[in-house]
Structure 1
Amino acid sequence: MSQRLFPRLSPDRAEHLRRQLLSRDDPTIFDPSLLDDVMSESRAFPATGGQAISRTDLQQIRTNCLEAQRTAKTLTTKKMIMSNFDLAVGRELYIASSESTGEFGQAQVWDFLTLVLLPDLATWRFSPTSKGAAARFASGNRRHVFRRLWRRWHVFGPEIVQDGFLDEDNYASFLERRLPTEHAAVARSAFKAIRNSDYTGPRREYVRVFMRQLLQASGLVEINGDDTSHLNEVISYVDQVTQNRLRPEE
């Protein structure tokens, strides 16, 4: 099957659009003419083989993400609205990436998705005037408005993400670190240990200490997920050390 290619936004143009987005006081809008212009550029698609995604398919991705926003807005609290939106948009991006191996690892593709295809949704999710806004719209940043959502599905898989056990802080503990991001088997095994742990204290603290212990262990032994038995032993050890560290002193 031919790989489906997404448009790239050149670094110069991305920087110009990003500055515009971050400096706006009025709501960001989607500009169909900009989409057409970017797609017509000679450098929009790499000459490496594969089938360029059609404008119709891009428009469908946009329509699906707009529907995710509309559905989320029917909920009652801001936390529920944003969580529902994040889950649904992450799903759409994950589905879109299924025929595009490697495309969603490209910063220029994320610039296109954020600054050309979905700029209104990006700024609805994170205001350009909010604290840390620049990181949310920087394609290489792990806190990127959309890339972080796709990475959840890409690393953990649909079953874990749809489980709903991990919250925003938990995801950050995992996905802002190289080891679990680069080795999905490690992230998934760690999740199962956390999910099944009998620790009854605050989960945020447990996940934070667990990940710290896991990273420390990775400096002593190789952890890559290739050897399931070895990985399970390491994860079990990390879980025990974590619980010991968090156990109240008698």
Structure 2
Amino acid sequence: MSVLYPRLLPGEADRLFEELHEHSPGSHTHMVSNHSPRSVFAATGGRRVTREELDDLRRTIVSAAEEQGFPEPPTPAQRNAFDQRTARILHEQSLMVPGEAAQRPVWAFLALVLLPDICVWRWPLKSGRGYSADRFKGLDLTRHSLGRLWTRAHVLYDPRSPEPYELVDTLGEEAADQIMTRRRSVAATPALVRAVVRGHRDERALNEVGMSERDVLRQSLMRLLRLLAFVGVDSIPENELDHLVRRVRAETRNALRGR
């Protein structure tokens, strides 16, 4: 049975987001709770998550943050390691189905009620600009501090692999963002996303002087986008998608050599 999560009402999400700015860095633990009187559940579709389960989820994610130095400011490598570990935790432990995970108020609750201190640590204040609403209120789930991680794990999860979450650990934040934000094209087909990530992983050893992984990934994605205008990939077997991605990456490398 799927699990339903509290959905924070929009006005309360706005209020709590403003409250983030009233606390100094490191003091947001005072905002933590496992419930909110200004949240609701979906009427049907599964059973409601218990407060004990929310506490367990929080403990596991806090532990992942502590492994990366929380509450001290994280390095880029620590942020990346936290994201990879937390993506797996959210996907494995939350027991959400895609329909529930697509609800922005669910992620607003998790970021602003259950885990505000962790999300502030991961996405700290920007000088002169405050906290980013996208990271906390769920305005865009491809940018939400936690929602984007569940989506990443769900798309990259491969039950055929001995380690089903292996592909989650392949991508750094920049590479994952390059792929997952193209949600209406490349990211719309999970099998294609997995093929792209496998190609990125398997060809790292081929990197040449003057040719960065970032350039190969970015340029190959642009080529795939043009190809997707003419080719429907939803019905293509995954092994053939692997061949397609490798061919596009080879063409990209040849083009970059000739620049």
Which TM class, normalised by the smaller chain length? 0.7 to 0.9
| Cα shift at 1:151 | 2.1
- The 2-side partners of 1:194 and 1:36 are apart by 41
- The 2-side partners of 1:236 and 1:30 are apart by 50
Corresponding position: 1:194 with 2:204? no
Which sections of structure 2, spanning at least 5 residues, go unmatched? 158-164
- The 1-side partners of 2:232 and 2:92 are apart by 32
Bigger drift between 148-157 and 226-235 goes to: 226-235
Corresponding residue pairs, total: 242
Corresponding position: 1:80 with 2:80? no
Q: Greater helix share, 1 or 2?
A: 1
Please give the secondary structure, in 1, of the residue aligned with 2:29: coil
Corresponding position: 1:174 with 2:179? yes
TM-score (norm 2): 0.83
| Cα shift at 1:134 | 2.9
| Cα shift at 1:220 | 1.8
- The 1-side partners of 2:96 and 2:149 are apart by 18
Which sections of structure 1, spanning at least 5 residues, go unmatched? none
Contact 1:5 1:51 in 2 (8 A): yes
Contact 2:17 2:112 in 1 (8 A): yes
Match of 2:93 in 1: 96
Contact 2:34 2:54 in 1 (8 A): no
Match of 1:160 in 2: 167
Pairwise CA RMSD: 2.6
Distance 1:10 1:91, change over 3 A: same
Contact 1:114 1:137 in 2 (8 A): yes
Contact 1:225 1:231 in 2 (8 A): no
What stretches of structure 1 move > 6 A for 4+ residues in a row? 74-77
Match of 1:151 in 2: 151
| Cα shift at 1:238 | 1.7
Residue-by-residue CA offset, 1:151-204 (whole Å, 9 max, x unaligned): 221111212113xx3221111111111123221100111122222333432101
Match of 2:254 in 1: 244
Identity of aligned residues (%): 29
| Cα shift at 1:247 | 1.2
Distance 1:243 1:18, change over 3 A: same
